[in-house]
Every structure is written in C-alpha cells, then in structure tokens.
Amino acid sequence: MKTIKLIIDGKTAEVPENTTLLKAAKTVGIDIPTLCYFELKDMNIENRPGGCRVCVVEVKGRRNLAPACNTMVAEGMEVYTHNIRVLNARRTVLELILSDHPAECLTCAKSGSCELQSMAQQLGVREIPYQGEQSKYRKDTSPAIIRDVDKCIMCRRCEMMCNDVQTVGALNAVNRGFMAVVAPAFEMNLEKSPCTYCGQCVSVCPTGALTEVDHSRNVINALADPAKTVVVQTAPAVRAALGEEFGLAPGTLVTGKMVAALRRLGFDYVFDTDFAADLTIMEEGTELLDRLTRYLKGDKDVKLPILTSCCPGWVNFFEHNFPEMREIPSTAKSPQQMFGPIAKEYFAKKLGINRKNMIVVSIMPCLAKKYECQRDEFKVDGDPDVNFSLSTRELAHLIKASNIDFSSLPEDDFDNPLGESTGASVIFGTTGGVIEAACRTAYELYTGKKLEKVDFKELRGLENVRHATIDFDGLPINIGIAHGLGNARKLLEDIRDGKSQFHAIEIMACPGGCIGGGGQPYHHGDSEVIKLRASALYREDAGKPIRKSHENPFILELYKDFLGKPCGEKSHHLLHTHYFDKSAGVFVEE
C-alpha cells in the first residue's frame, strides 16, 4: 500500500493512502474533536456522514474547511486543525447545535455520558449566542426505549445502526431542513415499528435523544415493601462491564463486588442468571440432540439447523422479519425467562410464599429484556415471571444513589440454590459463548465420552459471521455464529433459500454479543472495551471448577427434585415458549 506524507499542524505524518485526516492526525498526537463520527473498529461499523461539521479543519488550497472524518489524505497536504479560522468555525457550529438543544442537562438521563455535553466543556462554551426556535417533537416511550428527539443532533448513528448494521429498518431520517429528525415511519411510536429493542441505537446515541426506560424506581419501591420477597438475577455480561461505571478498567471482573452491592441494596436473595443459563443448555442441548438424532435417522420433518433463542432482540427480529421460519429456533426460553418460573414456581414454594409476593428483578446488559419480561406469555394470571429488568447502567445508578462505595466493597458469593453456575454459563455473555457451552454438554451427552478439551477456540472471536465444524466423535457438526442482526439476516436468508449447511446456529442481536448490549455502560465507539469484556468472561470461565452445564450439581438437583428430565413435561411447560408472526403492517394487514 502506498504511503502518503502530509503535514498536520506543522508535524509530518506518514500514513497509508485512503486514510482520513482524522486518523492521520491521531498518528501524530492530534485529537480532532468529532460528534457524528462513530466507529467500532474490527467490527465493520462506521458512521461518517460528515454532517455535524465539528471536525472541520483547514486544508491549504481549499476554499472551504474540510471535515477531517471524511477527507482523505493526499501527498503534500498541509492541514491546520486549530488555527483561528478553524477554532471560530468549530465553536460556532457547536453553538448552533446547542442553540437547537434543550438545556436540560441537570435532569437528562444522559448527563455525564453525553458527548455533546463533554464537547461543550472541551471547547469551553460558556454561552450560546445564537438563540431561536428549537425543534419540538412528541416524546415516545416504548416498553424499552424512550425517544426524546428534541435532543437529536442528527448525527445519524442510530439510523446507521438500525439500518446498516441491524437491518431492522425501524428508524430513518424523516422531514427536511430544520425539522429533519430520525424517527420511525409516520413518526409513530417505536412500539408500532419493527423495532427489536436491541438498544444499539441507544448505545451509540451521543445525547439523551435515545435512552432506556428506567425501572429503578419500581425496584426501589419493591425493596422498601416488607410484604415482598425480592429476588435478583444477574446476567453474565454485567459482571464484566459494571466496574466501568465506577472507574475500573474495562475488562475488570466485579462479580463479588456486584453481589455485595446487590445485597446492600436490600435484595433478599442474590442469584445468578448463569444458573438459568446452565438450565438453558440442558433444555436447548437436549432439543438439539433430539432434532439431530431424528435427522440422522432420516426424519424429513425435522427442522435443522436449530437456532438459539436466548436473545430477545433476535427473537423479536425473526418474529417481525421471518415469521414463516419461526419453527426453526429452539423453543427454549431465554435464561432470564427460565429463571423467572424457577424462582416463582419452585423457589417461592420452597420458601412457602405466594408467587405474587415475590418480585423477581433481573440485571441485564440488554434493553430487549425489558420488553421480553413484559410479554403476555411470560405471565401467570397477570403476574410476570420476571417483574423488572434493569440495565447494567441502571444498576450502577442505583448503587451510586444508595451511597455504596463500590470499589471498597468486599467480594461476596451468590446465594444458593439459584446462584451456582458453571463456566459454560458465564460465556453466554459473549458471541459464540452459548454455542460453545452447548457443545460442551451436547458432546458428552451424544458421545457418552468425557470431553478432553473444554475450550472450543474455533468458536471464539469477533468476526461478523463465523463457522466451524466440531467433531462429535466421528460425526461432524457444522456450527454457525452471527452477532449483529444484519449478519443474522444473511444466515436466515441462506436457510430460507435452502443453502444453509449448518446443524446449529447461535445468534446474538448485538455486535459482540451481550457484552456489547444496549444496556451496557457506554463504550463510546471503543471496540477494545468490548474485547476486554469478552476476555474477562473467558477468564472467569477458565477459573471455574465446573465448566459444563450438565455437571452443575444444583441443576441436577433441580431436575431430580422438581423438573424431571430436560424437555420433559414440566420443563416443557415452564421452560419452553412459542413465537408469533409480527410481520403485519400497522395500516395494511394481509
């Protein structure tokens, strides 16, 4: 590749051709501020519409200032990133953006994590000289996401995520000029759109225009109610990211501190969604083996590949986009929704309390979980199996609001029996983890042999679509993995067109899996953060004494005590679900 030499603020930079000025400047220690620009390196995710104009720089010989994010280097270019012309322009552009932005920082959910706010700080804006009309739109609250697009700055990141990465198509730029904004069709509520609540729009929104529905008040109230037994479950990806909210380095595992914090918050039982993840493997693994065995015996009706079903964003996606294929995914509920009935139908009975007096709270890296726990099929007489789902970010707020000094907390252990888990369940939180966990169990159950090498490294990584063949003692099992719904769509289209060679496919809606979920601490486009979270989970897995779900003693006890056998009658009733056709339009039903 050709190397280009150019001068930026008097410093000589040498970079490969087709490098942007923004990246070239970074190589010589110049950090040009950006707002609309967004990139998740190594994941093929980039947004550079060149719209905000905050990153403009002067290129000698050009009539106008050029956006650094969208201008390619050229030999001999002379670039100035902070002369008076540039500084004045950059500040004025920011003042303009602020003049069309509500000054609600004190009460904004995004305060502290807002990129517009920190930009105003960085550039030292102390007043907004240009005042005028501000754009006003209807506020929209869906089961998981709040749209307050008065705060939209038209960076288009959400639109890019929703369309280019996730191929969901719920959001699009609408209207023109001053009234232009990103919105669902007909500016209707998100709830009426094909939104999957994956929350990726929220995770990239630089301002408070897109945030999660906050359920922490409900949880505080439940904890204060002496009549309620409040049980909490925590998803695997939370422990790998929660520390970031308290200034700990990305990738720090805070499992023990998190448990201690939850106990101090007043939860009666601190359990682990990982336990339910082990249960998921038992059910889903059994279902896989059942379909596989029938298939090998020549059963033509059996649906293969089997698709994982633990990701609620993904479930919403195929219900909206591929309803005709809704027989293919595993019927196993997600770990969150498996935990619910076990808590309320098994554990509550053990405690001798009515399920209505038990409140189950989940801590999730996810926003779709908020919608999932509100689904009608996950309720008994109107009582949801899981009452409230909080995001990792909401938990962090809750801890801070309760005067808990997180970093000085001791390390606590989960309660039993629903707190014991294996290494297999921990890696549910990263792309490839579910299928790896399933392989560990399915292999032993199918072959009857002990698995010598527990790590399936071939299933790990961040490539968008991965595939591997696992040798089940002579039987080659073809595994597919996709994270990001756009990648999932490709695999689904292959299945629909009869081109798929896979026996089993794992799909996660969010890039990176749950560690990159819509409810996680904001990564601000740093893909290293996501990678460090993944390695934290693999670290926790490696350190666990038991690393296969079917060896979890409490799981075995649960089957013996209560459930019977995997995919048996009771577990079918409590742990499996069915899917709906949600493809109908709002106005046209066909």
Partner 1 sequence: MARQIRIALRNCGVIDPERIEDYISRDGYMALATVLTELSPEAVIEILKKSGLRGRGGGGFPAGLKWEITRKVQADQKYVVCNADEGDPGAFMDRSILEGDPHAVLEAMTINGYCTGASKGLIYIRAEYPLAVERLKTAMKQSREMGLLGNNILQTGFNFDIDIRYGAGAFVCGEETALIHSMEGLRGEPTVKPPFPSVEGYLKKPTNVNNVETFANVPVIINKGWEWFASIGTEKSKGTKVFALAGKINNVGLVEVPMGTTLREVIYEIGGGIQGGKEFKAAQTGGPSGGCLTKKHLDTPIDYDNLIAAGSMMGSGGLIVMDEDDCMVAIAKFYLGFTVEESCGKCSPCRIGNKRLFELLEKITQGNGTMEDIDKLRNLSTVIKDTSLCGLGQSSPNPVLSTIENFIGEYHEHVKDKKCRSKVCKSMMQYLVVPEKCIGCTLCARNCPVNAISGERKQVHLIDQEKCIKCGACMEKCKFNAIIIN
Partner 2 sequence: MAKIKLSEKKIQELKDVCKAFNNEKGELINVLHKAQSLFGYLPAELQEIIAKELNVSVAHVYGVVTFYSFFTMQPKGIHPVSICLGTACYVRGAEKVLEEFKRQLKIQVGETTPDGKFSLSCLRCVGACGLAPVVLVGEKVYGRVAPDGVADIIAEYNT
Can you list the alpha helix ranges (DSSP code H) found in 111-251? 115-122, 157-160, 200-204, 216-224
Alpha-carbon distance of 590 to 281, in angstroms, equals 37
Q: Which does 205 bind (CB under 5 to 8 A by kind): partner 2, partner 1, none?
A: none
- Look up 377 and say whether it is catalytic: yes
Residue with Cβ nearer partner 2 (176 or 578):
176
**Strand, helix or coil at 293?**
helix
Structure tokens at 123: 């550039």
Q: Is 514 a catalytic residue?
A: yes
Q: Tell me the C-alpha distance between 588 and 590, whole Å.
A: 6
Could you say which of 203, 330, 362, 421 is catalytic? 330
Beta carbon of residue 414, minimum distance to partner 2 (angstroms, whole number)? 43
When asked if residue 185 is in the footprint of partner 2 (CB under 8 A), the reply is yes
| 26 has catalytic annotation | no
Q: Is 309 a catalytic residue?
A: no
Per-residue HEC secondary structure of 527-560 comes to HHHHHHHHHHHHHHHHHCCCCCHHHCHHHHHHHH
Q: Pick the binder of partner 2 from 28, 128, 173, 248 (CB under 8 A).
A: 173
Is residue 176 a contact point for partner 2 (CB under 8 A)? yes
203, two tokens: 């995770």
Q: Which of residues 105-164 bind partner 2 (CB under 8 A)?
A: 163
Rule CB under 8 A: choose which of 55, 165, 170, 481 binds partner 2: 170
Of 284, 319, 420, 540, catalytic: 284
Instruction: Kindly name the residue from 212, 372, 394, 436 that is annotated as catalytic.
Output: 372
Pair 454, 301: CB distance under 8 Å: no
Query: What residues contact residue 488 under an 8 Å CB cut-off, 6+ apart?
Result: 314, 317, 482, 507, 509
C-alpha closest to that of 424 among 256, 554, 551, 315: 551
Tell me which of 88, 175, 407, 501 binds partner 2, using CB under 8 A.
175
Both tokens assigned to 200: 């990726």
Asked if 193 touches partner 2 (CB under 8 A), the answer is yes
Task: State the Cα–Cα distance between residues 246 and 265, nearest whole angstrom.
Answer: 16
**Residue 183 binds partner 2, judged by CB under 8 A:** yes
Regarding 184 and contact with partner 2 (CB under 8 A), the answer is yes
Of 99, 172, 331, 478, the one binding partner 2 by CB under 8 A? 172
How far apart, in Å, are the Cα atoms of 354 and each of 84, 270, 343, 376? 70, 19, 11, 20
How many other β-carbons are positioned within 10 Å of the β-carbon of residue 311? 30
- Choice from 96, 174, 325, 451 touching partner 2 (CB under 8 A): 174
Tally of helices (H runs) and strands (E runs) in the chain: 19, 22
- Single-letter code of the amino acid located at 586: V
Rounded to a whole number of angstroms, the minimum distance from the CB of residue 221 to partner 1 is 41
**Cβ 236 to partner 1 shortest distance, Å:** 40
Question: Any contact of residue 497 with partner 2 (CB under 8 A)?
Answer: no
Per partner kind, with CB cut-offs from 5 to 8 A, the member of partner 2, partner 1, none near residue 169 is: partner 2
| Contact with partner 2 (CB under 8 A) among 67, 194, 206, 429 | 194
Interface contacts to partner 1, rule CB under 8 A: 49-53, 56, 64-65, 67, 70-72, 85, 88-89, 92-93, 96-97, 99-100, 129-130, 132-133, 153-154, 173, 175-180
Q: Which residues are near partner 2 by CB under 8 A?
A: 163, 168-176, 183-188, 193-194, 585-588
Q: What residues act catalytically?
A: 284, 287, 310, 330, 369, 372, 377, 514
